[in-house]
Structures are given as structure tokens and as C-alpha cells.
Amino acid sequence: MLYSLFTHDCLSCHVRTKILKFADDTTVIGLITNSDESEYRDQVNKLIS
């Protein structure tokens, strides 16, 4: 229950990234095209902070 409350505001800020949450696990999935992973890395950094 507490995990759900603390991670409720963890939403994806890019169209090509997705945040999946299950129990006590969080995964960031991103579509990387043309070796440009800036949106993915930005999403990971925002999730960490």
C-alpha cells in the first residue's frame, strides 16, 4: 500500500517512454531510435530524483 502511495506520481513525461510498476518493482521502457536515447535517459533521471 505504501509503495503505491509513494510512486503514484511517477508518470511518463515522454510519448516514447513508459513506466511500469508492479508490487515493489519499477521499470522504465523506452523506444530508442537512431541511437537517440535522450528521452529514455531523461525519464530515468526524473524517476531517480
pLDDT in tens, 1-49: 676 666 667 778 888 899 888 777 888 889 989 999 999 899 889 888 8
- Position 4 scores a pLDDT of 66
CA 49 to chain centre: 11
Is residue 7 exposed (0-12), middle (13-18) or buried (19+ Cβ within 10 Å)? middle
Question: Hey, where are the domains in the chain?
Answer: 2-44
pTM score, whole prediction: 0.69
Rounded to whole angstroms, how far apart are CA atoms 30 and 28?
A: 7
Strand partners, 22: 25
Query: Residue 36 carries which DSSP code?
Result: B
- Position 35 scores a pLDDT of 93
- Position 49 scores a pLDDT of 80
